[in-house]
Amino acid sequence: MGIEGVGARVARKEDKRFITGGGRYVDDMVVPGMKHAVFVRSPHAHAQIKKIDVKKAQAMPGVIGVLTGKELKADGIGNLICGWMIHSKDGSPMKMGAWSPLAVDKVRYVGDAVVIVVAETKGQARDAAEAVEITYKELKAVVDATKAIQAGAPQIHAESDNNLIFDWEIGDGKATDAAIKSAAHVTRMKIVNNRLVPNAMEPRAALGHYDKAEDHYTCWTTSQNPHVARLVMSAFYNVAPENKLRVIAPDVGGGFGSKIYIYPEEIVCLWASKKTGVPVKWVADRTESFLSDAHGRDHVSTVEMAFDKDNRITGLKVDTIANLGAYMSLFSSCVPTYLYATLLSGQYNIPAIHANVRTVYTNTAPVDAYRGAGRPEATYLLERTMETAARELGVSPAELRRRNFITSFPHQTPVIMNYDAGDYNASLDAAMKAADYAGFTRRKADAAKRGKLRGIGMSCYIEACGIAPSAAVGSLGAGVGLWESAEVRVNAVGTIEVLTGSHSHGQGHETTFAQVVNQRFGVPLDSVSIVHGDTDKVQMGMGTYGSRSGAVGLSALSKALDKVEAKAKKIAAHLLEADEGDIVIENGEVKVAGTDKSLPWFQVALAAYTAHNLPAGMEPGLKETAFYDPANFTFPAGCYISEVEIDPETGVTDIIQFVAADDFGNIINPMIVEGQVHGGIAQGIGQALLEGAHYDGSGQLLTASYMDYTMPRAGDLPSFKVSTSNTPCPSNPLGIKGCGEAGAIGSPPAIINAITDALGVPDIAMPASPSTVWSAIRAKKH
Amino acid sequence: MYSVNYHRAASVADAAKLLKNGDAKLLSGGMTLIPAMKTRLAAPSDLVDVSRLKELQGVKVSGKTVTIGAATTHYDVSADEKLKKACPALAHMASLIGDPAVRYKGTIGGSIANNDPAADYPAALLALGATIITNKREIAADKFFKGLFETALKEGEIVTAVSFTAPAKAAYEKFRNPASRYAIVGVFVAKGKDGVRAAVTGAGEDGVFRSKEVEAALAKSFDASALNGLKVPAKGLMSDIHASADYRANLIAVMAKRAAAAANA
CA of B130 vs chain A CAs: smallest distance (Å): 30
Write out chain B residues lying below 8 Å of A649, CB-based: 250, 254
Residue A92's pLDDT band (cuts 50, 70, 90): very high
- pLDDT per residue as tens digits for the range A612-666: 999 999 999 999 999 999 999 999 999 999 999 999 999 999 999 999 999 999 9
Write out chain B residues lying below 8 Å of A706, CB-based: 179-180
Range list of H helices, B96-145: 100-105, 108-114, 121-127, 141-144
- The reply to whether A749 falls in a domain is yes
CB pairs under 8 A between A and B: 43
Query: Residue A523, Cβ neighbours under 10 Å: how many?
Result: 23
Write out chain A residues lying below 8 Å of B39, CB-based: 287
Say whether both A661 and A753 belong to one domain: yes
Q: Which residues of B touch A (CB under 8 A)?
A: 1-2, 39-40, 175, 178-180, 241-244, 246-247, 250-251, 254
Helix axes A264-276, A226-235, angle to 10 degrees: 60
A775: nearest CA partner in chain B? B247
Which residue, of A599, A628, A657, is where some domain finishes? A628
Strands B183-192 and B169-176: antiparallel
Task: Quote the pLDDT of residue A782.
Answer: 80
CA torsion sign, B67 to B70 to B72 to B75? positive
Report the SS3 class of residue B264.
Answer: helix
- The reply to whether A57 falls in a domain is yes
What's the mean pLDDT in A276-292?
A: 97
Say whether both A404 and A434 belong to one domain: yes
Say whether both A581 and A601 belong to one domain: yes
Q: Is residue A473 scored above 60 in pLDDT?
A: yes
HSE value, Cβ hemisphere, 13 Å, CA-based, for A519? 21
Which residue, of A567, A599, A628, is where some domain finishes? A628
CA of A231 vs chain B CAs: smallest distance (Å): 37
- pLDDT per residue as tens digits for the range A357-366: 999 999 999 9
Which residue type occupies A485? S
- Distance, in Å, from the CA atom of A49 to the CA atom of A138, rounded to the nearest integer, reads 9
When CB atoms are compared, the residue of B1, B39, B175 closest to A650 is: B175
Say whether both A336 and A431 belong to one domain: yes
Q: Which residues, other chains included, contact A471 with Cβ-Cβ below 8 Å and sequence gap of 6+? A: A629
- pLDDT per residue as tens digits for the range B202-259: 999 999 999 999 999 999 999 999 999 999 999 999 999 999 999 999 999 999 999 9
Say whether both A240 and A127 belong to one domain: yes
Report the SS3 class of residue B3.
Answer: coil
What's the mean pLDDT in B149-178?
A: 97
Q: Report CA A508 to chain centroid distance, whole Å.
A: 16
Say whether both A271 and A365 belong to one domain: no
Q: Is residue A1 scored above 90 in pLDDT?
A: no
Q: Is residue A587 scored above 90 in pLDDT?
A: no
Render A85-128 in DSSP notation, one character per residue: --B-TTSPBP-PPP--SS-SSEE-STT-EEEEEEESSHHHHHHH
The CATH number for A210's domain is: 3.90.1170.50
- pLDDT per residue as tens digits for the range A311-367: 999 999 999 999 999 999 999 999 999 999 999 999 999 999 999 999 999 999 999
When CB atoms are compared, the residue of B241, B244, B251 closest to A650 is: B251
Mutation target vs A (from B247, B251, B254; most A CBs, 10 A cutoff): B247
Q: Is residue A2 scored above 80 in pLDDT?
A: no
Which residues belong to CATH 3.30.390.50 in chain B? 169-264
Q: Report CA B155 to chain centroid distance, whole Å.
A: 20
Kindly determine whether residue A775 and residue B180, on different chains, have CB atoms separated by under 8 Å. no
- pLDDT per residue as tens digits for the range A362-406: 999 999 999 999 999 999 999 999 999 999 999 999 999 999 999
What's the mean pLDDT in A71-77?
A: 97
Instruction: Report the first-to-last Cα separation within chain B, whole angstroms.
Output: 47
- The reply to whether A10 falls in a domain is no
Say whether both A439 and A510 belong to one domain: no
Say whether both A522 and A612 belong to one domain: yes
The CATH number for A514's domain is: 3.30.365.10
Report the SS3 class of residue A7.
Answer: coil
Residue B194's pLDDT band (cuts 50, 70, 90): confident
Write out chain B residues lying below 8 Å of A707, CB-based: 179-180
Say whether both A282 and A264 belong to one domain: yes
For residue A278, the enclosing domain spans 31-139+201-254+259-292
Residue A467's pLDDT band (cuts 50, 70, 90): confident
Say whether both A321 and A462 belong to one domain: yes
- The reply to whether A195 falls in a domain is no
- The reply to whether A129 falls in a domain is yes
A708: nearest CA partner in chain B? B179
CA of B11 vs chain A CAs: smallest distance (Å): 33
Range list of H helices, A218-263: 226-235
- pLDDT per residue as tens digits for the range A437-461: 999 999 999 999 999 999 999 999 9
- Distance, in Å, from the CA atom of B264 to the CA atom of B89, rounded to the nearest integer, reads 11
Kindly determine whether residue B178 and residue A706, on different chains, have CB atoms separated by under 8 Å. no
Helix axes A742-759, A375-393, angle to 10 degrees: 30
CA torsion sign, A540 to A543 to A548 to A551? positive
Nearest residue to A711 (alpha-carbon basis) of A682, A668, A674, A743: A682
Report the SS3 class of residue A286.
Answer: helix
Mutation target vs A (from B37, B41, B254, B255; most A CBs, 10 A cutoff): B254
Task: Quote the pLDDT of residue A355.
Answer: 98
Write out chain B residues lying below 8 Å of A650, CB-based: 175, 251, 254
Say whether both A279 and A422 belong to one domain: no
Task: Quote the pLDDT of residue A468.
Answer: 83
Q: Look at phi and psi of residue B5 and say left if phi exceeds 0, alpha if psi is from -120 to 50, else beta.
A: beta
When CB atoms are compared, the residue of B1, B178, B246 closest to A769 is: B178
A695: nearest CA partner in chain B? B241
Q: Is B97 exposed, middle or buried (0-12, 13-18, 19+ CB in 10 A)?
A: buried
Q: Is residue A230 scored above 90 in pLDDT?
A: yes
* ipTM of the complex as predicted: 0.96
B245: nearest CA partner in chain A? A771
Write out chain B residues lying below 8 Å of A703, CB-based: 179, 241
- The reply to whether A56 falls in a domain is yes
Which residue, of A585, A605, A628, is where some domain finishes? A628
CA torsion sign, B244 to B249 to B252 to B253? negative
- The reply to whether A166 falls in a domain is no
CA of B93 vs chain A CAs: smallest distance (Å): 20
Strands A313-325 and A589-592: unpaired
CA of B38 vs chain A CAs: smallest distance (Å): 11
Which residue type occupies B68? I
What's the DSSP call for residue B99?
A: -
Class of the CATH domain delimited by B169-264 = alpha beta
Mutation target vs A (from B185, B242, B246; most A CBs, 10 A cutoff): B242
When CB atoms are compared, the residue of A650, A702, A774 closest to B241 is: A702
Q: Give, for A641, the enclosing helix (H) or strand (E).
A: strand A637-647
A188 φ/ψ angles, rounded to the nearest 5 degrees: -120, 135
- pLDDT per residue as tens digits for the range A711-758: 999 999 999 999 998 999 999 999 999 999 999 999 999 999 999 999
Task: Quote the pLDDT of residue A509.
Answer: 97
Greatest pairwise CA separation for chain B in angstroms: 56
CA of A681 vs chain B CAs: smallest distance (Å): 18
- Distance, in Å, from the CA atom of A702 to the CA atom of A693, rounded to the nearest integer, reads 8
Q: Give, for A319, the enclosing helix (H) or strand (E).
A: strand A313-325
Kindly determine whether residue B254 and residue A694, on different chains, have CB atoms separated by under 8 Å. no
Write out chain A residues lying below 8 Å of B250, CB-based: 649, 774, 778
Nearest residue to B49 (alpha-carbon basis) of B36, B32, B30, B31: B30
Write out chain A residues lying below 8 Å of B242, CB-based: 708, 769, 771
What average pLDDT does chain B have? Answer: 97
Total tally of structural domains belonging to chain A: 3
- The reply to whether A402 falls in a domain is yes
Q: Tell me the CATH number for domain B5-49.
A: 3.30.43.10
Q: What is the dihedral of CA B113, B114, B118, B121, to 10 degrees?
A: -20
B179: nearest CA partner in chain A? A710
Kindly determine whether residue B242 and residue A708, on different chains, have CB atoms separated by under 8 Å. yes
Write out chain B residues lying below 8 Å of A774, CB-based: 247, 250
- Distance, in Å, from the CA atom of A235 to the CA atom of A83, rounded to the nearest integer, reads 12
Say whether both A658 and A767 belong to one domain: yes
Residue A781's pLDDT band (cuts 50, 70, 90): confident
CATH of B56-165, picked from 3.40.50.2000, 3.40.50.300, 3.40.640.10, 3.30.465.10, is: 3.30.465.10
Kindly determine whether residue A774 and residue B247, on different chains, have CB atoms separated by under 8 Å. yes
- pLDDT per residue as tens digits for the range A551-576: 999 999 999 999 999 999 999 999 99
Write a three-state SS string for A123-139.
HHHHHHHHHCEEEEEEC
CA torsion sign, A14 to A16 to A17 to A20? positive
pTM > 0.90: yes
Kindly determine whether residue A771 and residue B40, on different chains, have CB atoms separated by under 8 Å. no
Nearest residue to A533 (alpha-carbon basis) of A232, A227, A323, A752: A227
Report the SS3 class of residue B130.
Answer: coil
